């Protein structure tokens, strides 16, 4: 009997050590940016592993393919879809506050015909720990026009990241990132949610959507058409200039970056190349952190958040993500909502200001958005439906777009763009569909935990 008791004690002790070790490991992979990717192999019957794919929630009766791995995403998607079918009428009714909000959004967007480089100093003063521009910015239209029209003093390869982009220095010393056009407006990107090259128009649309949603953490972005021979080649660095060549009547270049090569150039229409110009956030030093909801990008390997129903509890075990100690987790939920609406499933890392405490999560690098308007990857919402917390202010802003007016609101904002039309109509319609799914996800959280526990100040 004594031996049995000793064995039982030893077994319980070993189990306790195993559980504690697992929890410590979870926290380690969540907060340590140098740690290996947190992953686990998913299996189907017969012992064969299968890639863990995002469940695509459609409203057209499409069925899940046989053999699809049933992970936490599948579970959440089924609950959200059921809630979607019974949403209260208020979500399908236009908010009485929407008209006033639309007027406030459009008022500062009027195009200016004056190029005023003194605007750069104003933009620099806008930036603080929690936002890159204020709620009311009457100079915004003038500033966007100046960004779109200022003379280029110098052009070089932007070596950050993996894709082709340029760093431009504008008159007055302002720097900006230029992402070239690869696709037409009507192109539909097939494959996983992170497939394809960056979409320049997605960067422009994402900036304007951030304004509409009150998430003022996206750097100022405009569409701009560059005459390569007149504006760029005369001021290009030698390394960039070496990659230019002529293909028929079109001027082409391939730049210098991780994936850049002579076999994959970008070509202008004759000499004119359209792209997105993104203002450099000069006042702040950026720090990059691994997202707790990062994908593995590996066939046959699922991330831990795709397998563990209690994953958010492990995230909150870190002080960085405890809602009572830091705004970071609520920022990530805001970001997940934003990314789901624009269909950006590629935010494997996120950036914050390193020189300010409690910095907001910045909405940078949105080029993998608006790829396929017919698919809704509900797993992008994982921080929301796993943690079931949301800022009350974010929820109140979302509710002002009830009744299917988010797409038309973004469309009205984008009419002021220098490369209008920015998005195909199907992408604007997709925004309204995805917002209804977001409402269903939040309602599901209300059902589980109560409204007061979900909405936080």
Strands 175-180 and 166-170: antiparallel
Best CA proximity match to 71, nearest among 101, 41, 48: 41
Closest listed residue to residue 329, CA positions, set 342, 346, 311, 343: 311
275 backbone dihedrals φ, ψ, rounded to 5°: -170, -175
DSSP state of 11: H
Q: Name beta bridge partners: 290.
A: 349
Task: Give the 3-state secondary structure of residue 273.
Answer: strand
23 phi, psi to nearest 5 deg: -65, -40
Q: Dump the DSSP string for 315-374.
A: HTTSGGG-TTT-SHHHHHHHHHHHHHHHT----SEEEEETTSTTPPPB----TT-SS-TT
Work out whether the CA dihedral 8, 9, 11, 16 comes out positive or negative. positive
For the chain, what is the total number of helices (H) and then of strands (E)? 14, 14
Catalytic hit among 331, 334, 346, 376 = 346
| C-alpha dist (Å) from residue 42 to 49, 51, 292, 299, 306 | 6, 7, 18, 10, 9
Distance CA 51, CA 68 (A): 9
Distance (Å, whole) CA 397 – CA 363: 17
| The residue to which tokens 């993998």 are assigned | 368
346 is catalytic: yes
Helix axes 392-399, 328-342, angle to 10 degrees: 20
Owner of token pair 């967007």: 109
Q: Three-state DSSP class for 302? A: strand
Q: Which two tokens stand for residue 392?
A: 């009350």
Strands 390-391 and 455-456: parallel
Q: List the catalytic residues.
A: 346
């Amino acid at each position: 009997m004594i031996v049995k008791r000793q064995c039982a004690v030893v077994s319980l002790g070993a189990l306790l050590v195993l559980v504690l070790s697992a929890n410590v490991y979870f926290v380690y992979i969540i907060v340590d940016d140098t740690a290996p990717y947190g992953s686990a192999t998913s299996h189907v019957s017969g012992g064969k592993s299968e890639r863990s794919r995002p469940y695509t929630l459609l409203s057209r009766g499409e069925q899940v393919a046989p053999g699809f791995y049933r992970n936490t995403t599948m579970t959440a998607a089924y609950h959200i879809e059921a809630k979607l079918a019974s949403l209260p009428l208020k979500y399908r009714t236009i908010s009485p506050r929407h008209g006033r909000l639309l007027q406030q959004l459009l008022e500062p967007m009027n195009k200016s015909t004056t190029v005023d480089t003194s605007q750069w100093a104003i933009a620099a003063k806008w930036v603080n720990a929690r936002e890159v521009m204020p709620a009311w910015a009457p100079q915004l239209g003038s500033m966007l026009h100046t960004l779109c029209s200022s003379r280029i003093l110098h052009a070089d390869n932007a070596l950050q990241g993996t894709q082709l982009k340029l760093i431009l220095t504008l008159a007055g010393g302002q720097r900006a990132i230029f992402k070239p056009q690869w696709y037409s407006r009507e192109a539909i990107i097939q494959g996983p949610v992170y497939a394809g090259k960056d979409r320049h128009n997605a960067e422009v649309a994402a900036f304007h959507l951030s304004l509409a949603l009150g998430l003022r953490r996206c750097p100022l972005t405009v569409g701009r058409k560059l005459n390569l021979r007149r504006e760029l080649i005369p001021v290009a660095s030698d390394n960039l200039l070496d990659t230019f060549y002529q293909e028929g009547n079109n001027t082409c270049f391939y730049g210098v970056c991780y994936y850049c090569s002579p076999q994959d150039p970008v070509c202008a229409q004759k000499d004119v190349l359209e792209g997105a110009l993104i203002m450099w956030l000069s006042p702040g030093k950026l720090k990059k952190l691994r997202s707790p909801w990062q994908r593995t990008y590996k066939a046959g390997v699922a991330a831990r958040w795709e397998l563990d129903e209690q994953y958010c509890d492990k995230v909150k075990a870190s002080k960085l993500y405890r809602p009572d100690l830091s705004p970071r987790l609520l920022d990530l939920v805001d970001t997940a909502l934003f990314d789901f609406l624009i269909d950006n499933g590629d935010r494997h890392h996120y950036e914050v200001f390193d020189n300010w405490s409690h910095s907001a999560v910045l909405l940078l690098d949105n080029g993998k958005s608006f790829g396929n308007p017919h698919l809704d990857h509900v797993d992008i919402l994982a921080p929301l439906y796993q943690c079931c917390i949301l800022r009350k202010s974010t929820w109140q802003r979302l509710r002002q777009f009830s009744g299917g007016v988010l797409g038309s609101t973004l469309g009205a904002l984008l009419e002021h763009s220098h490369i209008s039309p920015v998005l195909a109509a199907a992408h604007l319609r997709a925004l309204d569909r995805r917002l209804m799914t977001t409402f269903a996800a939040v309602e599901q959280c209300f059902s589980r935990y109560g409204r007061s526990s979900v909405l936080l100040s």
